[in-house]
Amino acid sequence: MAVATLILLLLVLVAASGVLVRILPLPLPIIQIGLGILLAWPIDGLRVELEPELFLLVFVPPLLFIDGLLLPKREFAELAPRIFGLAFGLVFFTVVVFGYALHWLLPQVPLPVAFALAAVLSPTDAVAVSSIVGRDLVPAHIRHILEGESLLNDASGLVVLRFAVAAALTGQFSIGETAMTFVLVALGGALAGFAMLWATAKALRIVARLGDIRPEVEVVILILLPFAAYLLAEQFHFSGILAAVTAGLYVGRSGLFGSLSIPARMQNMALIEVLSFTFNGVIFLLLGLQLPTIIRNVPPDLSLYGTIWEPVLAVITLTLILLAIRFAWIVFGSAVRGAVDRWRGRASLRLTTRLKVVMTLAGVRGAITLAGILSLPLVISENGPPFPARDLVVFIAAGVIICSLVLASITLPVVARGIPLDDEDMNANEERLARQVAAEAAIARIEEMVDEAHADPALHEARLAVSQRLIPNYRQRLGAGDADDPAAVDMQPVLQSMRDAALDAERAALVDLLRARKINDTTMRAVMGEVMLGLALSARKQANSPARAKKPAAKKAGAKR
């Protein structure tokens, strides 16, 4: 009962945070963390023990899958070198530099443990980044780089954490062996993601062949995909996080959505938004619930004189060191990327100093960092000594999370003010192009089907009548024609077949535009959502039309006569 009450309470607070964000001038994650802290404070507040493994299984796979699904693939491919440089290169650079710096500043933290803390502090939080770096704050290409980085660096950071913890427990560490194992773990995770993606697409095709399957069944199968990919990878000691990310990134290319019925696609699109908002909110509420307990237990190593300012100053100093490392890597990576582009004779994406500062400040830490640091073992071995400096590094990680979030929330709007944004007409033009091409393809296919029926006068007349009702729908996006037309009663099979054919033509035209990189995934989803919604409303209107209601009445009248 206590667990059920807690879940309901968290859901209520998630909904409340969605209202508060419209009132308070704060990013949504800050508000949710604050609500979590209020639940846990004062002394008699709510206590929730966070199980790191359960947390990683329940929350991380679906959220990373959704982030991978929603990430624009065209921009991801164009910006891949910069994204991979931050997601992998910066992680290793942070582990080495910050690990040695922490060990030098706090010698009581062993070097492997310092590397473990650096590993969990290296991933940025995808949700916090998206919430703080909004569409109206930075140019789209910067936002895509940051989102792509936060999507991939969770896997690299947690894999490095695994090796750092092993080194702390065994006292053995090999850079060469670690690098080789990391490559194998990453490739294995990606392969697990592809395998489950293929298996899920196959299962949906089999379900589609059975016919008359509730759309909820298809949606449930799709929801299970990220969990299955994660568990499959972890079963073979690969990266489950990278498996979930891979499944999300390539789900559009697998043909999986093509196997879903129209109601299932509509339900899936709505469910994605609900799950993303709810799970993200619960994560930050749980993060807030953990912080008071961690902060109350200030390690004596950070408070030599017993003042509250010592640990605060230590956390701020370490956060600034992390930001300095990130800024140095961004400057270095930008210079290298610019030199490579000039050598190849290609135009290079130029980052001004202000954009580099924005990208540095946007490197906020979040739930993955806390879950990773809480996963540190309590003891080195069974009945052995405690894990060295565990309370100290847990406190530092929690402090850096709060410090980075607050610092980004306060400084980013100021630093980014006045940065030229992308031309807003670009997205509008893409959507206009997609709608125009899709509608033209649908109209052309409808007209072809009318011409193909010349040999059968009855079928030709039926298709012609249906086309006269469907074509205005594509030209004006208003409706499917006059629902009171009695002809609709006998033409339902023709209407359904032509509607499905038109939808296939629209989908094929949009896929061609996507492959030609004339539109991106976001535009494709927006236009396809409108198309499917229009078709669903049209079908419902036909099903509930007076003409269909008259048929049973007519039969009854005939029976009486």
**C-alpha separations of 545 from 32, 493, 552, 559 in Å:** 46, 16, 13, 23
Calculate the CA 325 to chain-centre distance: 26
Instruction: Tell me the C-alpha distance between 299 and 389, whole Å.
Output: 9
Retrieve residue 362's tokens. Answer: 């946007």
In the DSSP assignment, the letter for residue 386 is B
Instruction: Tell me the C-alpha distance between 273 and 549, whole Å.
Output: 36
List pLDDT tens digits, range 244-271: 989 988 887 777 777 777 778 778 877 8
Cβ pair 254, 222 in contact under 8 A:
no
pLDDT at 12: 94
Which residues, given as ranges, of the chain have pLDDT below 70? 1, 42-45, 134-136, 173-175, 304-306, 422-428, 476-492, 495, 533-561
List pLDDT tens digits, range 133-192: 766 678 888 888 988 888 888 878 888 888 888 888 877 766 677 778 888 888 999 999
Cβ contacts of residue 446 below 8 Å, gap of 6+? 467, 470, 471, 474, 498, 501, 502
Q: Please identify which residue in the block is written with the tokens 């209020």.
A: 38
310-333: string of b/e by CB count within 10 Å (b at 16+)? ebeebbeebbebbbebbbebbeeb
Q: Please identify which residue in the block is written with the tokens 């230590």.
A: 314
**224 three-state secondary structure:** helix
In the DSSP assignment, the letter for residue 198 is H
Helices 353-361 and 140-170 pack at an angle, to 10 degrees, of: 50
Spatial CA neighbour of 497 closest among 534, 544, 446, 542: 446
User: Which helix (H) or strand (E) covers residue 243, if one does?
Assistant: helix 240-250
Calculate the CA 192 to chain-centre distance: 19
Q: Find the farthest-apart pair of alpha carbons in the chain and give their distance in angstroms, rounded.
A: 101
Q: Which amino acid is at 113?
A: V
Beta strands in 133-274 (DSSP E): none
List pLDDT tens digits, range 472-483: 877 765 333 334
Cβ contacts of residue 151 below 8 Å, gap of 6+? 64, 67, 68, 71, 87, 126, 245
Half-sphere exposure of 439 (CA within 13 A, CB side): 18
Cβ pair 225, 247 in contact under 8 A:
yes
pLDDT at 489: 42
pTM across the whole model: 0.76
Name the average pLDDT for the chain: 81
Calculate the CA 506 to chain-centre distance: 26
pLDDT at 549: 42
For the chain, domains (ranges, CATH) are 2-382+391-415 (1.20.1530.20), 424-549 (no CATH)
